[in-house]
C-alpha cells in the first residue's frame, strides 16, 4: 500500500506555538515529537475521514485506549484479532500544566499533587516527586567563591548520598562530579551550617559553570539553577511499590533527561507513548494475519479539566499510525499522518483549527 502523501510537500520542521498550549520554542534533544494539536472532537472527525481515505468500507467507531492501563498490550492485540475492521486510538493523557502558558493560574499544577491521591495517575503524576526534588535542588544548591579564591558549592544534606531522603523518589548529587575530594580521597565538607554542607567545587562542576559563561560570585551565594545538568546528579526511587509502577520501568531509566527538559510533563508523556507504541507494534507483528483492516493511531491527549474550559475542550496531538490488513502492514510517521489529516480537511466541508505545536 502506498502512502497517501507520496506527492505532498513536507511541513516546516519548526512551528510557532499559539494558545492554548504555550511552551518553549526550542529544539528537543531528547523527545522530538512536534506537530499540530486538534480539538478532540474535531480530530476524531478528521481521523474518520482519514480512515475512509484508506479504504475502510464502513468506518468503525474509534476505540480509545489509555497507554498507561495495565493490560494495554493484550487490549491492543484483542482489537487486532477482531474479525471486523477496527480503529484504535492509543493515547498518553497529560493534565494541562499552567507552566505551559495560556490558561495558567487557575488550579494547582499537578506538580504539587501527591500521586497516591490521584484516581487517574498519569506520567505527570509519576514524575512529580522527581521533578519537585530537582527544582528544589536548583534553588538550594548554592555556588560561590571564598575570599581565598576557592570555588565552593553548598549542598543540602538531603541531597547527599547516604541521606535517608535517598529512600524516596527524588535526586541526589554525584559527589565525584560536583565536589573535590581531599588528599585522602574523602569528600569532606569545608564548612557545615545546619543542614547545609559546603565543599570545594569539583572539576566537572567548575567546567560546566565556566562553559555556560557564568562567573563565580565572590562572598555571596548563587543558586545553581539550570546549571544542574543531568550529568551532575542521580535519581533515587522508593523501594515500596505504588500505584504508578506501570510507569516505572519505562520512565525511571531516563528520568534525569525528563526532569531537565524545558517541558518535562510533555517529555514524559511523549517518551511513554513512544515506548508503549513500540511494544504494541512488536506484538502485532507477531500476528501472522488479521481478518479485517486494522488501524492503530497513537496521540498525546491533553486534558483541560479544571481550567475553566468547556467540558469537551480537550486536545489531541496525533503522532503515528500503524495499518495492518491481512499479512500486509504499513507505518505512518507523524508528518505523514499530519499531512494526510490536513489534506482530508481541505477536501471536506469541515472548518476547524489545527494548532501548530513545537516545544
Question: Could you give the number of structural domains in the chain?
Answer: 2
Q: Could you give the angle at the alpha carbon of 263 between the alpha carbons of 261 and 267, nearest 5°?
A: 75
92 shares a domain with 157? no
Would you give the DSSP letter of residue 243?
Answer: T
303 shares a domain with 247? no
231 shares a domain with 161? yes
Q: Are 199 and 190 in contact (CB under 8 A)?
A: yes
Q: Are 157 and 195 in contact (CB under 8 A)?
A: yes
246 shares a domain with 296? no
Q: Are 324 and 228 in contact (CB under 8 A)?
A: no
In sequence order, which residues have a C-beta less than 8 Å from that of residue 142 and are 6 or more positions away?
153, 154, 196, 221, 222, 223, 224
d(CA 346, CA 358): 23
Q: Are 319 and 337 in contact (CB under 8 A)?
A: yes
In sequence order, which residues have a C-beta less than 8 Å from that of residue 301 and are 6 or more positions away?
40, 91, 92, 93, 94, 314, 315, 316
d(CA 224, CA 159): 14
> Which of 232, 257, 282 is the last residue in one of the domains?
257
274 shares a domain with 242? no
> Which of 210, 240, 257 is the last residue in one of the domains?
257
Whether 143 is covered by a domain: the verdict is yes
d(CA 290, CA 77): 10
Q: Are 287 and 329 in contact (CB under 8 A)?
A: no
d(CA 255, CA 169): 11
218 shares a domain with 159? yes
Q: Are 216 and 145 in contact (CB under 8 A)?
A: yes
Give me the tens of pLDDT residue by residue for the chain, a chain 359 residues long. 322 222 222 222 222 222 222 333 333 334 445 556 788 888 888 888 888 888 887 878 889 898 888 888 888 888 888 888 889 999 998 887 766 655 444 444 444 444 344 456 788 888 989 999 999 999 999 999 988 888 999 999 999 988 765 567 899 999 999 999 887 888 989 999 999 999 999 988 988 888 888 888 888 889 999 999 999 999 998 754 454 578 888 999 999 999 999 888 889 999 999 999 999 888 888 877 667 788 999 999 888 765 555 555 688 888 889 988 877 888 888 888 888 777 766 555 444 444 444 44
User: In the structure grid, which three cell numbers stand for residue 251, read together?
Assistant: 520512565
| Residue span of the structural domain in which 198 resides | 133-257
Model pTM above 0.95:
no
232 shares a domain with 137? yes
Q: Could you give the angle at the alpha carbon of 133 between the alpha carbons of 129 and 135, nearest 5°?
A: 115
Closest CA to 230 of 351, 101, 308, 130: 130
The pLDDT value recorded for residue 152 is 93
Q: Count Cβ atoms below 10 Å from residue 2 Cβ, excluding itself.
A: 6
> Which of 238, 257, 276 is the last residue in one of the domains?
257
d(CA 352, CA 342): 10
User: In the structure grid, which three cell numbers stand for residue 203, read together?
Assistant: 572539576
d(CA 13, CA 240): 43
241 shares a domain with 193? yes
200 membership: H or E segment, kind and range: strand 196-200
Q: Count Cβ atoms below 10 Å from residue 352 Cβ, excluding itself.
A: 13
**For the chain, what is the radius of gyration of the CA atoms?**
24
Whether 113 is covered by a domain: the verdict is no
d(CA 147, CA 218): 7
Give backbone dihedrals phi and psi of 2, rounded to 5 degrees, phi first.
-90, 155
Q: Count Cβ atoms below 10 Å from residue 333 Cβ, excluding itself.
A: 13
Q: Are 141 and 173 in contact (CB under 8 A)?
A: yes
278 shares a domain with 250? no
Q: Count Cβ atoms below 10 Å from residue 174 Cβ, excluding itself.
A: 16
Amino acid at each position: 500500500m502506498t502512502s497517501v502523501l507520496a506527492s505532498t510537500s513536507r511541513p516546516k520542521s519548526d512551528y510557532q506555538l499559539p494558545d492554548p498550549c504555550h511552551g518553549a520554542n526550542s529544539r528537543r534533544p531528547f523527545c522530538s515529537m512536534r506537530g499540530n494539536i486538534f480539538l478532540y472532537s474535531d480530530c476524531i472527525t478528521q481521523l474518520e475521514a482519514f480512515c475512509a481515505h484508506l479504504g475502510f468500507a464502513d468506518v468503525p467507531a474509534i476505540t480509545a485506549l489509555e497507554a498507561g492501563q495495565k493490560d494495554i498490550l493484550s487490549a491492543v492485540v484483542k482489537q487486532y484479532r477482531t474479525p471486523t475492521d477496527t480503529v484504535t486510538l492509543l493515547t498518553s493523557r497529560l493534565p494541562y500544566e499552567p507552566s505551559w502558558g495560556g490558561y495558567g493560574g487557575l488550579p494547582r499544577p499537578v506538580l504539587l499533587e501527591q500521586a497516591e491521591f490521584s484516581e487517574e495517575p498519569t506520567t505527570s503524576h509519576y514524575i512529580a516527586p522527581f521533578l519537585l526534588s530537582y527544582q528544589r535542588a536548583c534553588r538550594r544548591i548554592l555556588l560561590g567563591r571564598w575570599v581565598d579564591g576557592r570555588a565552593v558549592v553548598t549542598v543540602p544534606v538531603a541531597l547527599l548520598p547516604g541521606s535517608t531522603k535517598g529512600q524516596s523518589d527524588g535526586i541526589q548529587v554525584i559527589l565525584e562530579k560536583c565536589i573535590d575530594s581531599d588528599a585522602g580521597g574523602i569528600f569532606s565538607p569545608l564548612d557545615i551550617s545546619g543542614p547545609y554542607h559546603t565543599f570545594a567545587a569539583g572539576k566537572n562542576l567548575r567546567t560546566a559553570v565556566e562553559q555556560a559563561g557564568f562567573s563565580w560570585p565572590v562572598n555571596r551565594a548563587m543558586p545553581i539553577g539550570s546549571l544542574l545538568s543531568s550529568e551532575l546528579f542521580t535519581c533515587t526511587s522508593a523501594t515500596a511499590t505504588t500505584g504508578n509502577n506501570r510507569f516505572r520501568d519505562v520512565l525511571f531509566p531516563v528520568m534525569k533527561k525528563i526532569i531537565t527538559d524545558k517541558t518535562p510533563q510533555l517529555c514524559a508523556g511523549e517518551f511513554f507513548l513512544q515506548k508503549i507504541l513500540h511494544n504494541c507494534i512488536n506484538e502485532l507483528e507477531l500476528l501472522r494475519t488479521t481478518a479485517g483492516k486494522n488501524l492503530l493511531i497513537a496521540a498525546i491527549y491533553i486534558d483541560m479539566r479544571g481550567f475553566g474550559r468547556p467540558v469537551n475542550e480537550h486536545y489531541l496531538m496525533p503522532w503515528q499510525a500503524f495499518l495492518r490488513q491481512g499479512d500486509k502492514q504499513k507505518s505512518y510517521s507523524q508528518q505523514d499522518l499530519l499531512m494526510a489529516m490536513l489534506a482530508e480537511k481541505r477536501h471536506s466541508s469541515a472548518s476547524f483549527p489545527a494548532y501548530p505545536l513545537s516545544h
